[in-house]
Structures are given as C-alpha cells and as structure tokens.
Amino acid sequence: MNIIIVGCGKVGYTLVEQLNGEEHNIVVVDEREDKVSSITEQVDVMGIVGNGASYQTLVEAGIAQTDLLIAVTGSDEQNLLCCVIARKTGNCKTIARVRSPIYNYEIPFLKDALGLEMIVNPEFASGSEIARIFQFPSAVKVDTFAKGRVELLHFRVAKDSLLNNYELINIRTKLKCDILVCMVTRGDEVLIPRADFVFREGDVVAIAATPTKATNFFRKIGVGMEKIRTAMILGGGTIAYYLARRLLLIGVETKIIERDLARCQELSELLPRATIICGDVTDRRLLMQEGLATVDGFAALTGMDEENILLSLFAKQVSHAKVVTKVNRINFIGVLNEIQLDSITYPSLLTADMIIKYARSMNESMNSNVENLYKLEDGKAEALEFYIKEVSEVTDVPLQDLKIRKNILICGINRNGQIIIPGGQDVLKVGDTVVVVLTHARLNDIRDILED
C-alpha cells in the first residue's frame, strides 16, 4: 500500500518505523528539512520537504497514487486541512491526529463532514489506558477487546506469589479459574506457554478473561484488586486533563501538580472537582507535603521522559501507589523493562497501533476485519481482534481440528455479547469477534492462523 505521512515528530517517526515493518511504500512530508533527513537516513522511505497542506507538495509526494494519507503535524487544524486537500486531490483514505479537548467532543461531526476515515488522539488514548490500569492496580498493562467485555491483563510474578514455580495446568485444575494464559515474557523471550509450563519469579504474564473472572483469578492467587481511591498526577498537559476527567467521573480524588501558573488556572476551570497545585514537580518536599506517601495511584506525565522516570522511581520508593510513567521516545524500551517500572504508557505507540489496525483492514477482499490491534513486548508479539464476516475454512470446525500455526493462540470469542474462553471443542462462527495472540508472525486475516 502507498502511504503518505505528513509530520515527522515523535508520532510521525514511530509511525514510519512501525508501518515500514508492515511492508508499505511510505513517503514522509515535513516543512523541517532536518526532520525529513533524520527519518530518511534511518529508515528506507522517501522524504519531501514542504507543507503537507499544500496542493503542490502533495502532488510531488505522489498523492494521485496514494492509498492512505496520515496527518500528524503539531497542529490539529493543519492536519484536518491536509486531509481535506488530499481527499479532493487524490481521493485517498485519510487519518488525522486531533488532540485538542475542544475537538474531542466533535469527532463524529468532523469525520462525517470532512470525509475522514479516522481521527486519532494519542493523549486521549493514553489517558484512557492509564485509567484502565488504575482500575486493575495489579496489572502492568491492560488491553481491552470486545468493547470492554474481554481484557488482556499483563502482570509480573512476584517472589512470594502463588504462581512462582507453579505449573500452568493447575490454574484450571486446582484453582478452577476460567482464564487463559496467552503469553509469558521471560527476559528477552516471549512465549506462548503449553499446559506443562512452569512460572518463575519476574515473568510477565498476559491472561485473557472477562473483568469479573480476572478479578476472581487475582484474588485466588493472593493479589490485591482494590481500585484506587486517590491519585496524584505530575504534569498538567493534555494527557493529564483526559486522565483526570476519567478518574473524577469514577469518583477518584484527583490532584494535579503543574509548574505553569496559566495552565493551572486553565485546569482549575476545566476540572473544578480536581485539586490543582502550582509548583515544581521535582520538589521532593512539595510532593511529600501533598501526600505522595499515601496516594493509591501516581502518574508521571511531564514533557520530559527522564523526569518522568526519576519521579516514578521516587514514588515507588516512598509509597505503595500504582505508578504509571509516560515515555515519548521508544528507542530505549529494552532498558526501561530492566528498570521494572510498574507501568509505562507510550502515546506514539498507541497511535501506531490504531493506524496499523486500520491499514490491515483496508483490503476489501478479506473475509474478516481487524477490530483491534496491540503491539506487545516491543513488537515481539501482537494481540488482534478479528470480526468474522463470512464462512471460510476456519469457521464451524472445532478448534482442536484446525491446523493452527505455531505460536498462535485463540484467546477469546465474543458471540452476540457472550464471552467464550475457548477450549478444543469450541468453533468460530460468522459474526464472532475473535481475539488472537501471536509471536513471530503477522496476521491480516483470520484465515492466516492456519498453516499453509
């Protein structure tokens, strides 16, 4: 597929890296020559220096042959204008990044009026992800499928955990838990475990379950599942606003600490029920004074990755809070995993996941749609949700009789709102949405789970 990406900032760069791995032909456009050069020197893509909202620039970038244009500049208005011109010029599909809370309420109207395929908001997605993590404090990461009915929860096995040196089959036979262990990360290795797999301290385990059954499982293995009642957010940017709004809606007492006085005043008007503190987020005395030692949830959301990491480590040292760290740069994911922060949110990766999901669904010849997609463990694994549109070789056949490729696991089936954690006798049917986890492979269609 031919793709134009307008905007070569952090999100644009991440998109180029991720989509280039999906074997697309990519052209990047930016007014800053140094940004274009930086990307084209590191990734095998073409670069154009110019304004992506300019007709001439888009023609030079090959808009007439383009299938998909993605606008991710720093300006919401420029992104929307760029998509409108692209639609008129090349009749291609368009995706715009729109971050402002003002436009967030108008997304359905904007999509319809301007003919956009998708509007992505990395800050809103990050705020929602952190809110989900706070609702499951024992989880390192929470991915949702089937409109929230199925969750993929990632958690770390502690030294004193019941699961340490525990055989996987015992979860069903002894604990009687209706959950499915989909994936285990051990060091640099990502595994889809068999029944005789033995958990070890430090393993990061991903389970698929309904929220109720996940809660039951965590209780049985002795992991606390109490939701947070108080939260402290450092940094008052757009993610902080979206997160605080979500937390306040579910009754969480929320405090934001922000350096900039004007932004504090703005947040006070936008979030009248939140406590807004104007001060230096790196002032240890201020943090302790404002109750860091006793909060249930802590999110470091400043504009500097290094600052967020240090603040998170300090929070882990002085409190028992669930700690979430925002990181913009993805170059050092492996190093951050070694530090073992509680949870890390990468806004640019969330955006890339949403757009890759759409790109994989653009082929109209497929008999299934990619409804959801999450890149896991630095891209070493994926979790996908497919909607089955028509009868094929994977439907109406017991799963145990399908020749499913190695390192692929079907984790959940949503059939008219009923969630099935599948066993060998279950079958896939037209109209189902199906959650699949895989390593060392890539799926575009549900039929790709079968061996060639």
Ordered domains of the chain (ranges, CATH) = 2-120 (3.40.50.720), 126-220 (3.30.70.1450), 230-345 (3.40.50.720), 360-449 (3.30.70.1450)
Q: What's the confidence (pLDDT) of residue 146?
A: 81
Q: Which amino acid is at 413?
A: I
- The enclosing H or E element of 142 equals strand 141-145
Would you tell me how many other CB atoms lie within 10 Å of the CB of residue 295?
Answer: 24
What is the strand order of the sheet 408-415 is part of? 368-376, 381-388, 433-439, 408-415, 418-420
Question: How many angstroms separate the CA atoms of 420 and 137, rounded?
Answer: 25
pTM here is 0.84
Q: Which residues of the chain have a pLDDT value below 50?
A: none
DSSP annotation of 293 reads G
Alpha-carbon 135 to chain mean position:
16
Question: How many angstroms separate the CA atoms of 351 and 244, rounded?
Answer: 20
Question: How many angstroms separate the CA atoms of 294 and 420, rounded?
Answer: 39
What are residue 4's DSSP bridge partners? 27, 69
